[in-house]
Amino acid sequence: MHTWPPGGTQASLAQWLAWQEALHPQKIDLSLERIRCVAERMALLSAPYPIITVAGTNGKGSTVALLDAIYRAAGWRVGLYTSPHLLRYNERVRLNGIPVSDAQLCEAFIAINTARQEISLSYFEFATLAALWIFQRAGLDVVVLEVGLGGRLDAVNLLDADVAVLTTVALDHEHFLGRGREAIGREKAGIFRPLRPVVCGEADPPASVLAWADALKAPLYLRQRDFHAQPLADGRWIFHGPQGERGPLPRPALRGTFQYANAAASVMAVELLQARLPVGAAALAQGLAQVTLAGRFERLRGDPEVIIDVAHNPQAAEALAGLLREYPGRGRTLAVMAMMADKDIDGVLHALHPFMDAWYLGDLTLERALPAQQFAQYLGAAGVTDIYCHNTLLKAYQQALSDARPADRIVVTGSFYTVAEILAAAPDGARQTPIQT
């Protein structure tokens, strides 16, 4: 028998979310049986629009943002589901680029809670069902779904992707996905479907990925083999694919040379759906030029320069390090960091510590968070000496602001939670688009 949050059907979004967090015994429960049963009751398993599902260790956020921007530029009505959010839960579910309202989410939660009856659902499962319920009623042309964790047992894998995109496979969440790239790759390849195309944005994926696509007879489009990006001297690029060339195209508005790979994978996916969702040259160029993505090398207005980036694993840290090299500062670089204890701390520090002159560490009020004093021990073992620890992240950030000289810059990184806490404290109007050249 279902229960209701405080306030019942009149509950606010905040009440719904607090209740959901306490409802299911496991915060992360990788299985599809329970959510599939509820989705069947709600008639959510068949979609009236093409679906692109995006999985991968890193690059997922950039790829779904690129696909969303390209299709909206072409005039198609787009539903986008991502996770986690930075400041507002509503960011997870967007219709034509606009986060849905509290009222839309609460209405979806009422429908889910009525349908689930005796079935317990996790916080993420509620979110996924709410997105699918809202999308079905929005008259959309295409939906882009970002996998939260893994692929095979992730809630978004309820629906069959018309095109599956796998960005990269690196070591992360091994306690859930298995040890090593082969095991992780097989889990992420779980979004593939028989006879339906797969776009692989990594040029050298694990053998398990290739084997699973072959077993499903899923047409596989591999970057550097079947498609690739050819950067030009002026920053523009040419897409080379099975159907020929597209371009020259504008440099993706998301910063970093690695974004050419994400853009190429996105264009390949668009090409595969071109018969159903045509995208012309002008729309493709507009989408690439106008795409934005919060929390990825994003600069806050004001002095000193503050850059925020959600890098939380070694591969993402290496990408951030590349951006710090590509866009050097005029003075020192001060790191403000907090990370989750279950991440590869050593791997992240190995990538970042050559670029940081001082470290400001703060505690987060999360069970998974690594205490600042323990974080300092990792830094000490890496030979770092200029370390400042605080019992809150905000205090660490405030000290970094106070210590920064006019030419210095501050980099806030380590997790989505780290970035979200600093953004929540930033003055109104402080945010701007990701750094441009």
Per-residue pLDDT of 85-128, as tens digits, reads 988 999 999 999 999 999 999 999 999 999 999 898 999 999 99
Confidence of residue 155 (pLDDT cuts 50, 70, 90): confident
CA neighbor of 231 nearest in space, from 259, 212, 203? 259
User: Residue 431: its pLDDT value, please?
Assistant: 55
What's the average model confidence in pLDDT over 195-201?
97
Residues 6+ apart with CB under 8 A from 257: 231, 322, 326
User: Residue 391: its pLDDT value, please?
Assistant: 95
User: Residue 71: its pLDDT value, please?
Assistant: 98
Question: Whole-angstrom Cα distance, residue 152 to residue 30?
Answer: 9
Q: What are the pLDDT digits (tens) for 66-89?
A: 999 999 999 999 999 998 898 899
Residues 6+ apart with CB under 8 A from 369: 338, 339, 340, 341, 363, 417
User: Residue 434: its pLDDT value, please?
Assistant: 45
* pLDDT at 28 exceeding the cut of 90: no
b/e map 209-221, b = 16+ CB within 10 Å? bbebbeebebebb
Q: What are the pLDDT digits (tens) for 231-249?
A: 999 999 999 999 899 989 9
Helix residue spans in 190-327 (DSSP H): 207-215, 259-272, 281-290, 314-326
Residue ranges and CATH numbers for the domains of the chain are 8-290 (3.40.1190.10), 298-434 (3.90.190.20)
Pairing of strands 78-81, 93-95: antiparallel
Residues 6+ apart with CB under 8 A from 411: 306, 307, 308, 309, 320, 324, 333, 334, 335, 336, 356
* pLDDT at 25 exceeding the cut of 80: no
CA neighbor of 263 nearest in space, from 294, 234, 241? 241
The residues that bridge with 63 in the sheet, in sequence order, are: none
**Tokens matching residue 130:** 């709410």
Question: Whole-angstrom Cα distance, residue 270 to residue 267?
Answer: 5
Element (H, E) at 18: helix 13-23
> Comparing 300 with 262, which gets the higher pLDDT?
262
Question: Whole-angstrom Cα distance, residue 125 to residue 142?
Answer: 21
* Contact by Cβ (8 Å): 204, 211: no
CA neighbor of 292 nearest in space, from 86, 41, 55, 25? 86
Question: Whole-angstrom Cα distance, residue 356 to residue 333?
Answer: 5
